[in-house]
């Protein structure tokens, strides 16, 4: 058995990340920093390529990050597999605090030529949504009144005014 690299580990199984292969790490980091609240948590380079973790700001006991990787030519362990993207239904989701935020995000996406779906009112529990595409074609949904946050806040006993 090898020695642990890190000193801190979860006390139980945790859902920690989703990973995407990207063509241009810097362009993808810029896109997510521009269109989402995600911040660059870590950036690495090794013999296989570049990698980065993007996550929400602030402390949490349930960290979840977007892992992005750009492999060097001939170093991608999945080189023979097609580069899968999250689209058109498969997507990353961001729940926004206000309906106007969805409209604003759609307009920002339209101006950047990455609007995939204009704001649309969907039946519950989907809510009011718009979708953008990142530089690699992955779909990112921006929603309001979707209920994911509300449902979990109710289960956890949080009020609207309490921080996450």
| pLDDT at residue 156 tops 90 | no
Positions of CATH 3.30.720.110 in the chain: 85-164
How confident is the model over 7-16, as pLDDT tens digits?
Answer: 999 888 989 9
DSSP characters over 15-53: --EEEEE-S-HHHHHHHHHHHSS-EEEEEEEETTEEEEE
- Work out the average pLDDT over 93-119: 98
On the question of pLDDT at 161 being above 80, the answer is no
pLDDT band at 63 (very low <50, low <70, confident <90, very high): confident
Higher pLDDT, 52 or 147: 52
- The Cα–Cα gap between 142 and 132 comes to 8
The per-residue pLDDT for 160 is 64
Alpha helices in the chain (DSSP H): 25-35, 99-111, 148-156
The pLDDT assigned to 97 comes to 96
d(CA 108, CA 31): 12
Q: What span, in angstroms and rounded, lies between the C-alpha atoms of 75 and 47? A: 8
C-beta separation of 38 from 53 below 8 A: no
The domain 1-73 having CATH identifier 1.10.132.20: the answer here is no
Numbered ranges of CATH 3.10.180.10 in the chain: 1-73
With a cut of 60, say whether residue 163 has pLDDT above it. Answer: no
**What is the pLDDT at residue 101?**
98
- Residue pLDDT, tens place only, 44-62: 999 999 999 999 999 887 8
Cα–Cα nearest to 84, from 15, 16, 22, 17: 22
The CATH number of domain 85-164, selected from 1.20.210.10, 3.30.720.110, 3.40.50.300, 2.40.30.10: 3.30.720.110
Q: Is residue 146's pLDDT more than 90?
A: yes
Residue 137 contacts residue 87 (beta carbons within 8 Å): yes
User: Sign of the CA dihedral 133, 139, 144, 150?
Assistant: negative
């Amino acid at each position: 058995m090898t020695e642990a690299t890190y000193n801190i580990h979860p006390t139980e199984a945790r859902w920690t990340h989703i990973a995407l292969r990207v063509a241009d790490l810097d362009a993808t980091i810029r896109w997510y920093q521009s269109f989402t609240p995600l911040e660059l948590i870590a950036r690495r380079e090794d013999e296989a390529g570049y990698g980065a973790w993007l996550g929400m700001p602030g402390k949490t006991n349930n960290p979840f990050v977007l892992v992005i990787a750009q492999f060097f030519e001939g170093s991608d362990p999945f080189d023979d597999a097609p580069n899968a993207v999250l689209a058109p239904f498969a997507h990353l989701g961001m729940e926004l605090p206000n309906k106007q935020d969805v409209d604003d995000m759609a307009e920002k996406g339209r101006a950047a030529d990455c609007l995939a779906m204009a704001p649309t009112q969907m039946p519950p529990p989907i809510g009011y949504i718009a979708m953008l595409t990142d530089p690699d074609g992955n779909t990112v949904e921006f929603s309001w009144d979707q209920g994911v946050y509300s449902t979990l806040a109710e289960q956890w006993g949080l009020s609207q005014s309490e921080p996450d």
